[in-house]
A and B are shown apart, each in its own frame.
Chain A
C-alpha cells in the first residue's frame, strides 16, 4: 500500500512516498527534502506533488499518511501536521503520528550504544530525547538548556546526533558528536508508522508535541495615561 510520510519539525521539510508491504517492510518510491528556513508553508505542498509525480502515483492511490509530530518550532510544525491531517481527511485514509526525534534516532540505529537526539528549540534551548542500546526512547521528548541536557545524559549515551548537537557543540564537548544525517527523514517517519499502516490501525488525532505553553500573560492592571 502507498503511504505518504512527512516531517516539518525542523528547518528541513521532508516528504516521502513509500510502499508498505503486508509485513510492514518499507520500500521508498520517492523522497524530497528542502531547506525550508521559515518557508514550510510554501514548500511542502509542491514537494508532495513532486514525490507523487516522481513515482507516477495519484493522490487517490494513497492508503495512509504518516507525520512527525515534533517537538519543533510551532509554526513550521503545524504546517506539516495540518497538511497530513487534511490529506488523510480529504482522502478518507488513516493518519499516524510519530515523535520526530524518534525518526531522527532511527536513522542512527545501526551504530551501537546509547543515543542522544538534540534539535534546536530556539531561546537557547534544545528539544531532546535519549535512546538506549536497543533504540528505545528512555527519556524525553523534553525541552531544556543544552548544558542541563548534557549533564543529565553523561554516562548514559555514546553519541549525540541532530542539528542541536553541532549548534551547541560546546555544551556537548564531552560527547562523540555524530554529524551524519542530522535531519529527520520522511522515510524514517514512514518506517515508524508502517506497522500501524500494515495492520490498518485506526486513524489517530495528530497532536503536536509543543512542550511549551503559549507565551502570554494576562494583563495585571491598567496603565494610567494621565501623568500624576
Chain B
C-alpha cells in the first residue's frame, strides 16, 4: 500500500505515553511534520512527571496538536492513509488519551489504525534521519522511563529484549542526581551542561553490574553513591564541585551504556547500533558511543536530539513501515497497555 503520490504511505502518528503530546506526519521515511505540546513545565515543581497532570494536558492538547501537524505537513485528512498510535508501554491514563483519540479519528474517517510499541518507535524514527533502518541492528534506548538493549531483526514485528534496567531508568538517575545537585527538572540537559566544565575523572563513581545479566543496567547504587558523596562534602562544610560531580556521574552512566551496547553488537555479530530515547540527546553519550563504535567497527546511527525525545513522528515512522510491510491493522478494541511487551 502506498500513498496517493506513490512515495510511501502517508501516516499520522500520535504519542501520549508520558508528558509529551506528539503528533507527527510522515510519508514513507520522509518527515513532514512533528508537532509537540509538552506539559514538562507543569511537572517541574513536583520533580517528576505526575500522571494525572500529564493525562489532563494530553486531553487539552490533542486537537490543537493534530491540527498543527496537519497544517505543518500541508496535508488534509483525505491525504492520510493510516493512523498510528503508541499503545504502550507508558503511563496508563496518558496512553489512553492518545489511543482513544486515534481510534476515534480512525472510525470517523475510515482509516486503518496501527497500535505501535513506544520502544520500537524510538528505533524506527532513525529512518527519518538516516534512511532505511539496518535490520538486524542493536538498539540502545535510554530515557526517563526506559533503559533497554534490544536486538531488532524486524522493527515492525520481531524485537528481542536483551536487557534493561533493574531499577531506575538512566534518565530517572539524571533527574534524581540533578535534584541532589540543586539543578532543575528535567535533569538531563542541566547535568550535560554542567559536566562540560567538569572533570569526568574527578570522582570514581561505581559502575553497577547486574549478576548473570550482562546486558542489563542498574543505576540506583550510582545515584545513592552520588548522594552520599555530596552529603559528606556538605556536612564537612565544603563546597560541592557541581561540575565535577555532574561530569563524573554522567561518565559512569554513559560508560556502562555504551560498553554494554558495543558488547551486545560484538556478541551477536551485528554491526549497526541505533541509539534513541531522551538520554540519547546527551552529548557525552553521543561522543563516547561514536568513539567506541568506531573502535569496534560498528556503524552508529543516532537520530538528531529532536527525534530522540518522545514525539509523534517516531510513531508515524513505525506506522508507515508497518503499512509498507503489509502488517495487519489493529482492531478497534486495542488496549492501551502500560507494560506492553515487545513482539
Contact = CB atoms under 8 A, between A and B. Distances in A.
B120 interface: no
Given A214-B56, A219-B46, A45 B179 contact: no
B333 A75 contact: no
Contacts of B110: 59
Nearest to A213: B52
B197 interface: no
Contacts of B106: 45
A74 B58 CA distance: 13
Interface in B202-242: 224, 227-228, 231-232, 235
Contacts of A79: 96-97, 100
B224 A225 contact: yes
A179 to B, nearest CB: 31
A78 B55 contact: yes
Contact of A86 (B53, B56, B62, B232): B62
Contacts of A74: 52, 55-56, 93
Contact of A208 (B59, B100, B104, B335): B59
A89 B53 CA distance: 24
B137 interface: no
A78 B59 contact: yes
Q: Is the interface of A mostly helix, strand, loop or mixed?
A: helix
B341 interface: no
A226 B224 CA distance: 9
Given A78-B59, A86-B108, A49 B332 contact: yes
B308 interface: no
B63 A86 contact: yes
B232 A83 contact: no
A121 B337 CA distance: 24
Interface residues of B, number: 42
Contacts of B58: 82
Contact of A87 (B66, B77, B107): B107
Given A74-B93, A75-B96, A225-B227, A82 B59 contact: yes
Interface stretch (A36-44, A129-137, A144-152, A170-178): A36-44
Given A87-B108, A219-B46, A45 B332 contact: yes
A216 B59 contact: no
Contacts of B224: 225
B332 A46 contact: yes
A82 B52 contact: no
Given A214-B52, A222-B179, A41 B101 contact: no
A91 B232 CA distance: 62
Contacts of A81: 59
Contacts of A217: 46
Interface string B271-299: 00000000000000000000000000000
Given A59-B110, A74-B93, A86-B62, A46 B52 contact: no
B45 interface: yes
Given A59-B109, A216-B50, A216-B52, A90 B104 contact: yes
A199 interface: no
A225 B228 contact: yes
A5 B109 CA distance: 17
A56 interface: no
Contact of B103 (A45, A210, A226): A45
Interface centre among B58, B59, B99, B228 (most CB of A within 10 A): B59
Given A78-B93, A89-B105, 5 more contacts: A42-B333, A78-B100, A83-B100, A214-B56, A226-B232
3 interchain residue pairs of minimum CB distance: A86-B104, A214-B52, A90-B108
9 contacts: A45-B103, A46-B332, A74-B52, A78-B56, A87-B107, A89-B105, A216-B52, A224-B231, A226-B231
